Amino acid sequence: MKKKSSSSFWRYLYGKNVIKAYIEKIDNNHSHDVEILLSDKNKYKDIKILADKKNIPILYCKKEELDRFFGHDKHRGLLLKVPSSDRPSLKDVLPFPENSVVVILDHIEDPHNIGAIIRTCDKFDIAAVIVPSRRAAVDSPVISKVSSGADAFVPLIVENNLSRVIDILKEDGFWIYGADMCGDSLSGVSFSGKICLVMGSEGNGLSRLVREKCDYMVSIPSGGNIDSFNVSVATGILLYEIVRQQGKFD
């Protein structure tokens, strides 16, 4: 019998499409580290077929048990239990290939925004999303749900010190661009080589130490009456211009 993961920390994913994306990605050698939790033996036959192919165990639980595991009743009788320790570290993905794009989220706390950003990153083939270990809601199931399972494919890296992360990325050849309303207009900025885009928190923007590490500050030209874009929308606009200039999808 294969040994179960010794991790005592778990996260629970919900949403049929999200769970299918995770199951399809799982290596057979690591299938014993996850479990599918179901409250109805007669539902989700396609999920059960996928799980059988990957040798993923299925546990049948009462709905009340799933409520307790998940914290509320929006699971629709289906959860995927995965270790929270399955995320890569920065050293696991270094060095990055030429023309890679990495996104750093500087204390963005809303899991809806994080999920939306990760979904955009998947569409633009972004190499990694990096978040700090403090205050970022990296284990929220909302991230997987809002990203439609894209966080199964975009490495979400959790690091303690973003300032040190930027130093490491610079050593790997990255140029660091911070998003700021007072930065240079996006229409006049040229992007080439390895690019790291740093997005600040919803309320306070970039933290002082992270701002000081940036090589350039960039803003999105706009009109209207509201002060700024939502952070996930702003990230999408900036990433589009970066990958457009790199010619990735010509």
What is the share, in percent, of the chain residues with pLDDT greater than 90?
A: 56
The answer to whether residues 149 and 230 belong to one domain is: yes
Cβ(138)–Cβ(87) below 8 Å: yes
Dump pLDDT digits (tens) for 188-243.
999 999 999 999 987 788 999 999 999 999 999 987 767 778 999 999 999 999 99
d(CA 141, CA 15): 9
pTM above 0.85, yes or no: no
Range of the domain at 65: 10-86
Residue 100 pLDDT class (50, 70, 90 cuts): very high
- The answer, yes or no, to whether residue 6 has pLDDT greater than 50, is no
d(CA 158, CA 220): 27
Is 188 domain-assigned? yes
**Mode of pairing for the β-strands spanning 128-132 and 78-83:** unpaired
Query: pLDDT tens, 9-18?
Result: 677 888 888 8
CATH assignment at residue 33? 3.30.1330.30
Summary mean pLDDT of the chain = 87
Report strand pairing: 194-200 vs 174-185.
parallel
Give domain status of residue 2, yes or no: no
Higher pLDDT, 22 or 122: 122
Number of domains forming the structure of the chain = 2
Q: How far apart are CA 108 and CA 106, in angstroms?
A: 6
Q: Given this model, what pLDDT does residue 73 score?
A: 78
Assigned domain for 57 exists? yes
CATH number at residue 168: 3.40.1280.10
The domain boundary residue, chosen from 57, 86, 115? 86
> Strand order of the sheet with strand 35-38?
10-13, 78-83, 35-38, 58-60
Q: Has residue 125 got a pLDDT over 70?
A: yes
pLDDT, tens digit (0-9, with 9 covering 90-100), for 154-171: 989 999 999 999 999 999
Residue 4 included in any domain: no
